[in-house]
Structure 1
Amino acid sequence: MDAMEFFRKSAGTWRSQRTTHHLAFRQAEKGFSDIQVTSLDADDPRVIEICQMHNVDPSLAAGGAYVT
């Protein structure tokens, strides 16, 4: 599996759950996040912009992922 295949298989909505333990206060805090993963093709303007920002030839890009 290459990186783009991983991004494509990871695309969609994910839910993150976590618990933070504050030992000094003997408390636990729960948190949740909804995460959206979108795979981007190499010709996506966001991929091209990042390549240009880092002085990389956009034709060398395989694609990317956009995570919110």
Structure 2
Amino acid sequence: MRFVYLEPAHDWTDQTVEERMRLCAEALHAQQLISPRQFNQITTGITQRADRQRDLRSRNRGPN
């Protein structure tokens, strides 16, 4: 299983897809293309998906 939100964002230095998506949401909000409510919904969704993927990844690794 691939954890897309946790993959390196190859064309941006040392960032994950999660970090890139958050920056994109921040840029849209800064340009007033999305409302504060939409920004919160988007960033909450990004965090929830990435947290689920982190949880699944840790379960798949098993005990050390």
Same fold (TM over 0.5): no
Using the size of structure 1 for normalisation, the TM-score is 0.29
Structure number with higher helix proportion: 2
Larger radius of gyration: 1
Structure number with higher strand proportion: 1
Using the size of structure 2 for normalisation, the TM-score is 0.30
